[in-house]
Amino acid sequence: MASSNFDKRLLIEQIRYMETEHPLACDTEEHFSDHNIHKDFEDRLWLRAQRLVEQHDLSLMLGRAARLSRYGKILVIFVAALLGALGSIYAITDSHTINIYWLLLVLLGFNLLSMLLWLTGIGLNIESLTSGMLARLTSWLPEHLKSRSQTNDNGNNKNSMQADRAWLDCHFSGAVGKWQLSKMSHQLWLVYLFTGLVFLVLLLMVRQYDFVWGTTLLSDSLFIKMTDVLSVPLNILGFATPSADLVHETRIGSLPSDAAQTLSAEHRYHWAQFLLGSLLCFGIVPRILLWSWSVMMSRRAQNLFTLDYYLPYYINLRQRLMPLASHGEIVDADTSPPVISETQLKTPAPHALPVETQWVAVELDDNMSWPPTSINVANDLGQVINRESLTKILQRLQSNAHPVIAVAVSSARSPDRGVQRTIASLMSNSAQRWLVLLKEHEDEPVSSTRLAAWYRLAEACDVPADHVITMVMV
């Protein structure tokens, strides 16, 4: 149903938004851990989402936002094309005369201003300048849908609105949203400029126009100089451009009342080439380049789009869908030689810690002895119990390169800022980081609030959500 990683993650997010309102029953969820051992967490989420779509017939509901978006895009493109045509008509002062600079101002002036604001917004990361009204609209719609879903008692309507919210949030927020809105903005300007260009070409093909220009405050020399500057790239591209004398002669009032009709066909051709070349060179081509850049950056942002696995929703699902990856077993020194648990004998965990992992414990409870016999003594760096022990362990970490480090903590305690600072300092120079939550007994409960707090600590310490595991000391 979806081809790219972004589409898969979008579907997973839509399911998450829907389940925040009404949890959906999945009739095969209990089999994921047995039949998909070698699949990672995201693959299992994707399989679960597909199953939920089939089981609850959610296809039309999940695709509604995309369909409405297409219809809205067609409408906006039509309006942009209409404005481009109307702009060309408005700039032509009468049936036989075109005010050349007024027409360029109408078709290019606001376009150039928009490009400058967009480039400024991209350079300074100012969202309101990169997408303008589109950003305001797309930021308002999700909140509007959220408020409507909260006041709507119909379960299907709530789910549909939540799915729409997820679609809008994934497409129009963060890096994906910035480049998606930029792409749409450039596309609308291109439609506006192309429509104006086509309309002008048609008019110039079937009717004869004289070109004039005028000013009340500015000097004639300024317009002559501006024409020379604009003509430089046009001459390089092969467009015919008016000379300084022709520019001076076509000023309104510079010739007798009927002299404008004496302009030769060659002069009209030069002005027409100047007009069309300016639209292409200073309007359409820069927009095409910016649009192409936005398309590439939008695809890149979609490829880099990730799910927030530190959310309680995903933490709970991880415990249900990946018990082998989330629960290991450490055999304590008080028992007989290390024994691998029955669960682990069936198949190894997909996220087993590397053999070279260096272990550090942080402020364990008194009833937890460290290190367990399952950990190689050579890989044990000790336990942090005070400032002196922390300094000693940090010195050992600095003296030797330790690319993989696992920090073990008691799942019975709640993390605080002191623990976070300690863990961050221990992991600062490690390329691969693991956070191990130790439990005394298999059935020892860990509240969802405390588990979510440990995941947030892991996020703050740059520990991937896949590298937060729970182990039992027996």
Model confidence pLDDT, tens digit, residues 172-197: 888 898 899 899 999 999 999 999 89
Domain 312-473, CATH among 2.40.128, 3.40.50, 2.40.160, 3.30.420: 3.40.50
Residue 464 has pLDDT above 60, yes or no: yes
Which of 168 and 245 is assigned the larger pLDDT? Answer: 168
- Residue 290 is predicted with a pLDDT of 95
Residue 445 has pLDDT above 80, yes or no: no
Q: Which of 113-117, 297-301, 373-377 has the highest mean pLDDT?
A: 297-301
Confidence band (pLDDT; 50, 70, 90) for 296?
Answer: very high
Confidence band (pLDDT; 50, 70, 90) for 3?
Answer: low
- Residue 180 is predicted with a pLDDT of 92
Residue 340 has pLDDT above 50, yes or no: no
Which of 350 and 272 is assigned the larger pLDDT? Answer: 272
- Residue 330 is predicted with a pLDDT of 46
- Average model confidence (pLDDT) across the chain: 80
Strand partners, 380: 359
Residue 129 has pLDDT above 90, yes or no: no
Lowest-pLDDT range, 45-49, 94-98, 417-421? 94-98
- Residue 424 is predicted with a pLDDT of 92
Residue 343 has pLDDT above 80, yes or no: no
Q: Which of 9-13, 129-133, 339-343 has the highest mean pLDDT?
A: 9-13
Q: Which two tokens stand for residue 166?
A: 């997820």
- Residue 300 is predicted with a pLDDT of 95
Q: How far is it, in rounded angstroms, from Cα 115 to Cα 69?
A: 24
- Of 99, 118, 394, residue with least CA distance to 275: 99
Read off the pLDDT of each residue in 371-380 and give the average, rounded to a whole number.
Answer: 80
Which of 165 and 447 is assigned the larger pLDDT? Answer: 165
Residue 377 has pLDDT above 60, yes or no: yes
Q: Which of 42-56, 95-109, 333-347 has the highest mean pLDDT?
A: 42-56
Residue 1 has pLDDT above 60, yes or no: no
Q: Which of 15-24, 119-128, 304-313 has the highest mean pLDDT?
A: 304-313
- Residue 352 is predicted with a pLDDT of 65
- Residue 93 is predicted with a pLDDT of 55
Read off the pLDDT of each residue in 77-96 and give the average, rounded to a whole number.
Answer: 81
Q: Pinpoint the residues of the chain covered by CATH 3.40.50.
A: 312-473
- Residue 15 is predicted with a pLDDT of 93
Residue 14 has pLDDT above 90, yes or no: yes
pLDDT in tens, 395-422: 888 877 778 899 999 888 888 898 999 9
- Residue 9 is predicted with a pLDDT of 94
Residue 132 has pLDDT above 70, yes or no: no
The answer to whether 411 and 402 are in contact (CB under 8 A) is no
Phi, then psi, of 407 in degrees rounded to 5? -105, 120
Which of 160 and 324 is assigned the larger pLDDT? Answer: 160
Read off the pLDDT of each residue in 68-72 and give the average, rounded to a whole number.
Answer: 91
